[in-house]
Amino acid sequence: MSEYDVDVAILGAGTAGMGAYREATKQTDRIALIDGGPLGTTCARVGCMPSKLLIAAANVAQAMRDTDRFGIYGEAPRIDGAAVMQRLRDERDRFVGFVLDTVEEYPDRHLIRENATFINNHTLKLSGGGTLTARAIVIATGSRANVAGPLEGAGDRLMTSADERDKQRQELLQLSRQVGGASEHDVMNLQNGSETAGLHAFNSANSVSRKAALSIYRHLGIEAEIPRTQCSPALIAG
């Protein structure tokens, strides 16, 4: 009969891995929960929870625009993109904190903060140089965005759901400067949450490029309009 270091090894301490761990503890104490990446689950850190927080803010803004249907009239919402993102980060950190509190309650002997690769069906090589054998191995590593071949050429400019929201904001700001012609000073104002930024240097005569840039600004919570008397948009940070 084979000898095993543990009865159950679980690869990944995310949502699925934590669920598998709870079930495994009902059967045995000889468990290894292996994860060398950031804890807190993809859902809470960069997935569904931050997305839903952003969608919730958008829903509130839209509801304010639709009040006239109920005979209630008021001003259009003023969107402070920096404040929206700060709330998102604060709530995200709170959600992640709940997960980390749970993981911290696991016995130290169960949690291995390393990555692992298979040697055979029952043996894992740990990134720290050691090996671990298990009677059963649960693969709960989750998934990542599949980048189609034609998109690989975008390199680090390509954003997926695995990226931190802060990085996405930086990339969008950089793209807005390239497409919309915003100056370095304008971009820095936006990064620092400035209430106003005179983003008027739309040097491109290509209307498609201008529309793309406007879409990017609105994604960042910046109100924009194209005055009838000017060819270039006058933008005011919301």
Q: Which of 2-16, 128-142, 152-166, 220-234 has the lowest mean pLDDT?
A: 220-234
The verdict on 166 and 95 lying in the same domain is no
Please indicate, yes or no, if residue 151 is contained in any of the structural domains.
Answer: no
Give the range of the structural domain holding residue 117, as residue numbers without chain letter.
Answer: 1-143
- How close are the terminal C-alpha atoms of the chain, in Å? 68
Cβ neighbours, 10 Å, residue 6? 23
Residue partners of 143: CB distance under 8 A and separation at least 6: none
Please indicate, yes or no, if residue 121 is contained in any of the structural domains.
Answer: yes
Residue 114: pLDDT above 90?
A: yes
If DSSP codes are grouped into helix, strand and coil, which group holds residue 38? coil
Please indicate, yes or no, if residue 20 is contained in any of the structural domains.
Answer: yes
Cβ neighbours, 10 Å, residue 179? 20
Question: How much is the pLDDT for 108?
Answer: 92
Number of domains in the chain: 2
Q: Are 96 and 49 in contact (CB under 8 A)?
A: no
% of the chain residues with pLDDT over 70: 65
